[in-house]
Structure 1
Amino acid sequence: MTLGIVRVDDGWRVPALRGLGVSELVIDDRLRLRIESNEIMLCSGAELVADERAYGLSAWPQTNLGKATELLRQAVAEVSVSDQGALRVLFAGGWRLLVPVNDERSAWRVTVRDHGVLTAKPGGGVAVSDPGSET
């Protein structure tokens, strides 16, 4: 049985995404990473660490989106969320995507099909929804 979202001492881990590749990148006022039937949505600025360099990343205003396209087909190694509401996505090739807490709005959302949704709360913290519940 695949574990979807797991509570750990300092937050959550999302083992259901481990080993899956980013299959689609959707850019509008947000940046969405589709990972098979799952999704990581970035609603505010993030930092992409690639090749030992840090890139500010944002869908609006558009910032470093050319670098974001290089996430396509990258395999996810680990997705972790801190109790404070920071998101960290590690990729098998060594890249890291870091999304800090946003004081004014939800910074990100991780949707894991059939397992639930993790959503950053404005100002910090994480809301957890079970599958089938209203988000």
Structure 2
Amino acid sequence: MLSKEDVVQIYQQHEQLWSKMSAHSEVTWDLLPWPMYRKPNSAEEITSGAVDAYIMSPHYPDQDKSTKDRVRQQLRRWHEDHFNQKVLSKVNERDKERVKAAAGTVTRNLNNLLERANESKKAGSSVFA
């Protein structure tokens, strides 16, 4: 079980990795700030539950952001068009297919979360506010 301090530190590390991403000439699997608390080893380890927990955490940075805004922020980073141009193009060849598959999994999980948030709003629930 992660402490609040552990979770906050993970978010800080992820923000630092994103802010320095453009400076890297080569990117590896381990350098990517996967939106979950434990670094996955494969696309199969990136589950909707893990991504949901990361996005919906009460310790997520900018706590005043709604779940939908949090998802949108992550989608801007992981969406195929942006990700392939800004990140995947720098991924070393041995990691490229694995990273591409995993980034696709992240995007699908984020889109599913956004869809659930939109449905929740339509139904009048505030779980995803």
What TM-score, normalized by structure 1, do the two folds share? Answer: 0.22
More helix by share: 2
What TM-score, normalized by structure 2, do the two folds share? Answer: 0.23
Relative contact order higher in (CA < 8 Å, ≥ 6 apart): 2
The structure with the larger Rg is 2
